[in-house]
């Protein structure tokens, strides 16, 4: 059995699951995942021993974990394939990586910064088109342009597929958690480079969906603006074990902020455990 070393983020594990569903891949390789964003050390000898190295591109700022440094340590006969690091703000153009609060929303944060009450904030947020406050198209385009530049570092393209399917099928759970459909497209890209047939629909269906702990709710106005067939006012999203609409999710966001809590994920888990019951009234 040959070693396939995978150097990737949270997308690595579900990608491995799909690759291992292919009988020819499964018969030849066993996979070892090394998580890149945590700077996990590559086990001694793994790079020299592997015959297949799947990796998300990391630049020189990563030092000894950069793609260039890792590929230099491979056996000359090993095959290296750069896999995509998929990210998409198209469904959530107001998402921001602000520190100390997961899934930060620029519009909600701007409204809260005005000192508005929870009721006032939610009224404006849910009943006003976000396009009045932000250039949503420019935000989405800037993110997509960045992804185009990243895709140039990958041997497996995915953006054309994403853009062709984004309105009919929700392809991401969150900005960096792709759904199985998109991961299967990436897996088939790897298989093609290896000279293997694509996964069959049955093989894909037998692989469980991963990265689905939260399906980040989509603002109905943004869904309507982008023509998303799968998202609307009444759509219910699975959020850490609790099904909720976008309005219910936004209410949790605002309440968590006004309570001074920074662990939004922990807050959502707590709410799910209580069936969504609010533990403190902060709307007055």
Instruction: Indicate whether 152 belongs to any domain.
Output: no
Integer Cα distance of 268 and 237 in angstroms: 13
pTM recorded for the entire structure: 0.93
Integer Cα distance of 6 and 81 in angstroms: 10
pLDDT tens column, 151-176: 999 999 999 999 999 999 999 999 99
Does one domain contain both 190 and 233? no
- Structure token digits, residue 257: 């902020």
Residues 48, 49, 51: CA angle, nearest 5 degrees: 100
- Write the DSSP string, 165-178: HTTTS--EEETTEE
Does one domain contain both 181 and 112? no
Whole domain around residue 67: which residue ranges? 2-83+176-205
Integer Cα distance of 270 and 267 in angstroms: 5
Closest CA to 8 of 88, 73, 82: 82
Does one domain contain both 79 and 106? no
CB 48 within 8 A of CB 72: no
Cβ contacts of residue 162 below 8 Å, gap of 6+?
86, 88, 171, 182
pLDDT tens column, 89-110: 999 999 999 888 999 999 999 9
CB 280 within 8 A of CB 254: no
Instruction: Indicate whether 35 belongs to any domain.
Output: yes
Instruction: Indicate whether 282 belongs to any domain.
Output: no
CB 177 within 8 A of CB 239: no
Q: What is the CA radius of gyration of the chain?
A: 21
Average pLDDT for 105-125? 97
Instruction: Indicate whether 157 belongs to any domain.
Output: no
Closest CA to 83 of 58, 66, 62, 60: 58
Does one domain contain both 9 and 79? yes
Does one domain contain both 127 and 181? no
Instruction: Indicate whether 168 belongs to any domain.
Output: no
Does one domain contain both 220 and 267? yes
Structural domain count, the chain: 2
pLDDT tens column, 227-275: 999 999 999 999 999 999 999 999 999 999 999 999 999 999 999 887 6
Average pLDDT for 33-41? 98
Instruction: Indicate whether 154 belongs to any domain.
Output: no
Instruction: Indicate whether 278 belongs to any domain.
Output: no
* CATH number of 201's domain: 3.40.50.12080
CB 154 within 8 A of CB 57: yes
Instruction: Indicate whether 7 belongs to any domain.
Output: yes
């Amino acid at each position: 059995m040959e070693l396939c070393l995978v150097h990737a983020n949270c997308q690595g594990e579900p990608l491995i699951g799909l690759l291992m569903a292919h009988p020819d891949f499964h018969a030849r390789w066993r996979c070892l995942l090394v998580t890149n964003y945590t700077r996990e050390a590559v086990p001694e000898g793994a790079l020299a021993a592997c015959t297949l190295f799947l990796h998300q591109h990391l630049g020189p700022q990563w030092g000894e974990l950069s793609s260039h440094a890792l590929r230099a340590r491979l056996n000359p006969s090993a095959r290296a394939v750069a896999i995509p690091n998929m990210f998409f703000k198209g469904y959530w153009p107001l998402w921001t990586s602000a520190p100390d609060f997961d899934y930060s929303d620029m519009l909600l944060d701007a409204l809260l910064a005005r000192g508005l009450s929870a009721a006032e904030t939610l009224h404006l947020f849910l009943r006003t088109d976000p396009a009045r406050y932000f250039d949503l198209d420019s935000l989405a385009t800037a993110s997509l342009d960045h992804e185009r530049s990243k895709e140039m570092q990958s041997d497996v393209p995915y953006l054309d597929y994403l853009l062709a399917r984004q309105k009919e099928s929700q392809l991401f759970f969150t900005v960096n958690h792709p759904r199985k459909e998109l991961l299967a497209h990436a897996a088939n890209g790897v298989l093609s480079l290896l000279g293997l047939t694509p996964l069959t629909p049955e093989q894909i269906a037998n692989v469980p969906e991963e990265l689905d702990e939260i399906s980040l709710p989509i603002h109905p106005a943004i869904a309507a603006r982008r023509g998303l067939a799968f998202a609307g006012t009444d759509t219910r999203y699975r959020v850490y074990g609790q099904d909720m609409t976008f309005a219910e999710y936004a209410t949790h966001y605002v309440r968590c902020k006004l309570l001074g809590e920074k662990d939004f994920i922990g807050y959502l888990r707590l709410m799910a455990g209580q069936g969504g019951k609010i533990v403190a009234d902060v709307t007055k």
